[in-house]
Amino acid sequence: MRLDAGLVFLADSRTNAGVDQVGAFRKMTVFENPGDRVMVMMTAGNLSISQSIRQVVSEYVNAAGHSIWTATSMIEAAQIVGDAIRIVYDRDAKSLERFGIDFNVSMIFGGQIKGERCRLFQMYSAGNFIESHNENPYFQIGEAKYGKPIIDRVITPATPLDEAAKCALISMDSTLRSNISVGLPLDLLVYEADRLTVTRFVTIDEKNQYFQMIRTSWGKQLRAVFEGIADPVWNAAPDTTANVLSTANSYSQPIRVTPPASNGNSAAGAKAPMQTLAQQAGDGKQH
């Protein structure tokens, strides 16, 4: 999340190559030179590809002679990450294809370099990227659909960092409950704008007190809100009550399929029941 007050990053650590090959690998990497720059990269997709890209990013020098450590802006740093993705693609994609493996990787990359504002990017397998703006102050990669509605309803650029961290954890908890491919521990990093160093970071496991409180409280609060919403009123007289779902004078019918005529139960249309082998054997006839 990219907010007026800074940045919030949250990643799970579960990887799997089938139901019997589940492991924990950390997906968040921090590039930090205190006082000058803090950059965070999170990955989803093929683990070997993302680890290769991370290694190239840490060593790569572009045509201008800049690396991730000397880039003059976050946009140049994002371009360096894009170059690293393409380098790994050129080196490995054809070999992977021969084994039926797609070049599948996506990344969230963001941070701050001294002299400019916080910026956040979503990186794609082709090395291209888009940047977060106020209209869309967050990105999600991997299993994003389960927790997305929560973030959409809560997060704006003005959201305080602690509230945003709470929202991110609630969103992740919803994903953990609905998708087995996402799992603990979680890495949470909250970056305060212009600090140019990491001051808030935690690895969250199943024993973390705050996360356990969120899991319990969120479920209870959801049930309480659900129970507090009135049930619908069916076939009500118009304008006579609240919470009307349908009115008596409105014509609303589903699309119906007419059963075939042969489906009737009349004696003429009824078919003789099929005999079982035991019944046939018991009627004294030879077959």
Tens digits of per-residue pLDDT, 44-82?
999 999 999 999 999 999 999 999 999 999 999 999 999
Q: Report the CATH architecture of 2-143+183-204.
A: 4-Layer Sandwich (3.60)
What pLDDT score does 18 carry? 64
How is the chain split into domains, by residue range?
2-143+183-204
Tokens of 260: 């075939």
Residue type, 177: R
Spans of the chain, pLDDT less than 50: 267-269, 277
Q: Which of 255, 249, 224 is nearest to 235 (CA)?
A: 249
Per-residue pLDDT, 15: 86
What is the reported pLDDT for 247?
86
Beta-ladder partners of 122: 108, 130
Write out pLDDT tens, residues 122-164: 999 999 999 999 999 999 999 888 899 999 999 999 999 999 9
Number of Cβ atoms within 10 Å of the Cβ of 159: 21
DSSP 3-state assignment of 14? strand
φ/ψ of residue 83, rounded to 5: -60, -40
Helix, strand, coil in percent for the chain, rounding step 5: 30, 20, 45
Stated length of the chain: 287
Phi, psi of 33 (to 5 degrees): -125, 95
CA separation for the pair 247, 122 (Å, rounded): 48
> What are the E-state strand segments in 4-71?
6-11, 14-16, 22-24, 28-33, 37-45
Rounded Cα distance between 185 and 276, Å, is: 60
